[in-house]
Amino acid sequence: MKTKWNFKKLITDLLIAVFVLTASSELIAQEKKTTDLKNFRIVIEKTDSGITLKSIEGSAWIDLSFSLNNCRPQAVDEYGMTALNKVSPGKDTNLADFLFTIAETEDRIVLTGIEGTEWTDLSFSLVENGKQAIDQYGMAKLD
C-alpha cells in the first residue's frame, strides 16, 4: 500500500513540475519577444490611388505605394513588399526584423503583425490623404 501511494505522489509531483516549467518557459518566451523588438516606424497614408507606406526608421526601403484589391492583404517586411511564404535572405542587424500584412476594407486599414511586432492586429479608419504612424508597439503619434 505504501509503494502505491509513493508512486501516485511521484506522478503528481512530476506533473506539477512539468506544468510549472511549461508555464515559466512561456513567460520567458513572451518576455524575450518583447525585449528583442527592434525599432521601426512607418507612416501609412491612404491616397486616391491606394496606400502609401513611408519608412521613417528600421527598414531598407523609403517609400512603398500599392493598391489593395478585394481585401487581399499585402505582406511587408524590412526589405519591402514580400510574400508570406518567402523569407528574406540574410538579415541586416541595422534593420528591424519585422513582417506584417496590410489590407484595406471598405472603411478600415487592417494590419496583422506576424514577426517583430508586439501587436498582432491593428485596425483603424483613414480618410483619403489621412495618415497614421505605426511602430513595433502599435499605433504611434505622427511627428
Say yes or no: 45 and 23 in one domain: no
Which range of residues forms the domain containing residue 5? 1-36
The pLDDT tens digits for 21-61 are 555 545 544 444 555 899 999 999 999 889 999 999 999 99
- Summarize pLDDT for 94-134 with one digit per residue, the tens: 999 999 999 998 889 999 999 999 999 999 999 999 999 99
Tens of pLDDT, residues 29-39: 444 455 589 99
Q: Kindly state whether residues 85 and 116 are assigned to the same domain.
A: yes
56 and 30 belong to one structural domain = no
**Please, what is the average pLDDT of the chain?**
84
**Residue 2 sits in the same domain as residue 46:** no
Which residues, 6+ apart, have CB-to-CB distance to 132 below 8 Å? 43, 44, 109, 124, 126, 139, 142
The answer to whether residues 120 and 74 belong to one domain is yes
Mean pLDDT value of segment 68-97? 87
**DSSP SS3 for 22:** helix
Rounded Cα–Cα distance for residues 143 and 141 (Å): 6
